[in-house]
Structure 1
Amino acid sequence: MIAVHARYRGNDSRRANLVKRSAEALSTLEGVSRFEVVGVEDIRAHIDDAEAACMLVMALLSDGNWAIGIGITEKGPAIYAASDAVGVKAGSVKVVVEKQKPSTDAADIASAFALLGHVLAKRTVEGREATSLVRSGLSQNEAAAQLGISKQAMSQRLQAAGWQAEQAGWQLAVNLMSRAAGAAQ
């Protein structure tokens, strides 16, 4: 079982409203159950699989204002492990993996997301636009046309945005989380 607990660490003066709206929006992601709002700054939900969890964590990391905890358990609700994992620093991802056999799964998953967070934090507005369009399923040509730029300019934006590193990190995170959750499924 996989769950995610996120704690808002931004400076918005209407944080309770922002957290509630974020929970509603994130609940619409495929593979994500309805988010529960816990207090003023915290939200948490069970996740169907590793790919959905990665999609969710990437969305939270892209925002930059959330501390994220991931819980993966063989038995029992993963939501409690996720709540135990959540930290206090925005942009951080901490992981608790509860398995019968000790492993380095939690540290490995957290490391993959630390690298992904670094890539996302360095991204320009133009890079975010380009990667968002390609991530949504558009080809580079289609994304370039939508932005009104050449295919070469689109390719340059993706390269500068670290698109290949994001894709490699994404696959690594999915594989690690799938392996950690494998015994539970």
Structure 2
Amino acid sequence: MIVLTVDQRGSTFAADRVPEVLAELARLTRFREGVVVGFERTVGDEVQGILASGRAGAELAVDLSLHLLRDQGWSIGIGVGQVEGPLPTVSREARGFAFYRARDAVERAKTRGRGTSVAVEGPPPGAPDLRTTVSDATGPAPDPDAAPPDLAAEVEALLRLLAAIRARRTPQGWEVADTLASLADKPGRQKIVAQSLHVSEQAVSQRIRAALWQEEEAVRPVVVRLLAELSSSVGPDLVPGPDSIATEGP
């Protein structure tokens, strides 16, 4: 599973923004696939939620992370791993490796600059894919000398790259990007944006190029695919917790 831990930056000298971010996360996740346990305050100025493995959870994790990074007031840790079952109704009562990894990730994220304070932790590179029980005899033999990919590091690097692009975007660039995002992807969209903002189509094109909006749109699905692959490689999402093992009969 994917655990998202979000911690308020500079909270010692600022007002508590947890109620505000919880309302925003509830709005952003409403009617979206991929939520396993909704976001709640865990402790202090931190909130946490559990998302599903695979594409739906990965896409939601990327969308929420980039949305929160735009605010520049949050540090975000993404942890990928198994969770102890049965699942509780609130994430602060859950346990498992995904939570430990999310904790390590958010602590690393706190050391990053505003707007790029995100980190990702997953299984160690080269860990066996527990979902694979039979090798594909028709595929090419693995290269024993090839270094295994560190998917968590790749996801983190691309997320930070996107966050850095977005952190440098001007208000005019965001105006165009937000308007484009609100429209269906079809021919003539830039003309609609120009009419909506009362500027020329040439001005819209210039703002799109300056904002690197097309580059962001091209990279985002790559991040989602890698995170989905990482989250689907860790084995069964739920594993028995110590309490459930102790109470099992013969």
TM-score (norm 1): 0.87
- The answer to whether the Cα contact below 8 Å between 1:113 and 1:169 also exists between their aligned partners in 2 is no
Q: Secondary structure at the match of 1:27?
A: helix
User: For the Cα contact (< 8 Å) 2:11–2:45, is it kept in 1?
Assistant: no
Q: 2:177 aligns with which of 127, 131, 134?
A: 131
Q: In 2 relative to 1, CA 27–80 (structure 1 residues): closer, same or farther, beyond 3 Å?
A: farther
Task: Map Cα deviations across residues 115-164 of structure 1 (whole Å, 9 max, x no partner).
Answer: 11110111000111111111223522222222111222111111110102
Query: Secondary structure at 1:15's aligned position in 2?
Result: coil
Size of the aligned set, in residue pairs, is: 184
- 1:23 Cα deviation from its structure 2 partner: 1.4
Q: CA deviation at 1:75?
A: 5.3
Secondary structure of the equivalent of 2:214? helix
Residue 106 of structure 2: aligned partner = 86
Q: Which residue of 2 aligns with 1:20?
A: 19
Shift in CA distance, 126/103, structure 1 to aligned 2, threshold 3 Å: same
Deviation at 1:166, TM superposition (A): 1.0
Equivalent residues of 2:80, 2:102 under 8 A apart: yes
Aligned to 1:3: 3
CA deviation digits over 1:65-86, x for unaligned, max 9?
Answer: 2111001115545344222310
- Does 2:47 align with 1:43? yes
Report the alpha carbon displacement of residue 14 of structure 1 after superposing the two structures with TM. 4.9
Residue 143 to residue 80, structure 1, CA distance change in 2 (3 Å): farther
Within the candidate set 51, 63, 72, 1:64 is matched to 72
Distance in 1 (alpha carbons) for counterparts of 2:15 and 2:46: 10
Please, which runs of 5 or more residues in structure 2 have no aligned partner?
85-95, 129-147, 238-250
Q: Retained in 2: the 8 A contact 1:115–1:169? A: no
**Alignment match of 2:227 (pick from 162, 177, 180):** 177
| 1:119-158 paired onto structure 2 within 5 Å | 119-138=165-184, 139-158=189-208
Q: Does 1:98 align with 2:123?
A: yes
- Structure-2 change in CA distance of 1:11 and 1:155 (3 Å): farther
* Structure 1 residue 105, shift from structure 2 partner: 1.1
Q: Is the 8 A contact 1:62 1:121 kept in 2?
A: yes
Could you tell me how far apart the structure 2 residues matched to 1:96 and 1:21 are? 27
SS at structure 1 position matched to 2:4: strand
The AA in structure 2 aligned to 1:7 is D
Q: Deviations over 1:17-62 (max 9, x none)?
A: x222111211222344521112332111112411111110110111
How many angstroms does 1:15 deviate by? 2.8
Give the letter aligned to residue 145 of structure 1. Answer: Q
Q: Name the Cα RMSD after superposition.
A: 2.3
Q: For residue 44 of structure 1, give the secondary structure of its aligned residue in structure 2.
A: strand
User: Contact 2:79–2:105 (CA<8 Å) still a contact in 1?
Assistant: yes
Stretch of structure 1 that moved more, 103-112 or 93-102 = 93-102
CA shift in 2, pair 1:141/1:79, >3 Å:
farther
Alpha-carbon distance change, 144 to 179 in structure 1, aligned in 2, over 3 angstroms:
same
- Distance of aligned partners of 1:73 and 1:11 in 2 relative to their CA distance in 1, 3 Å threshold: closer
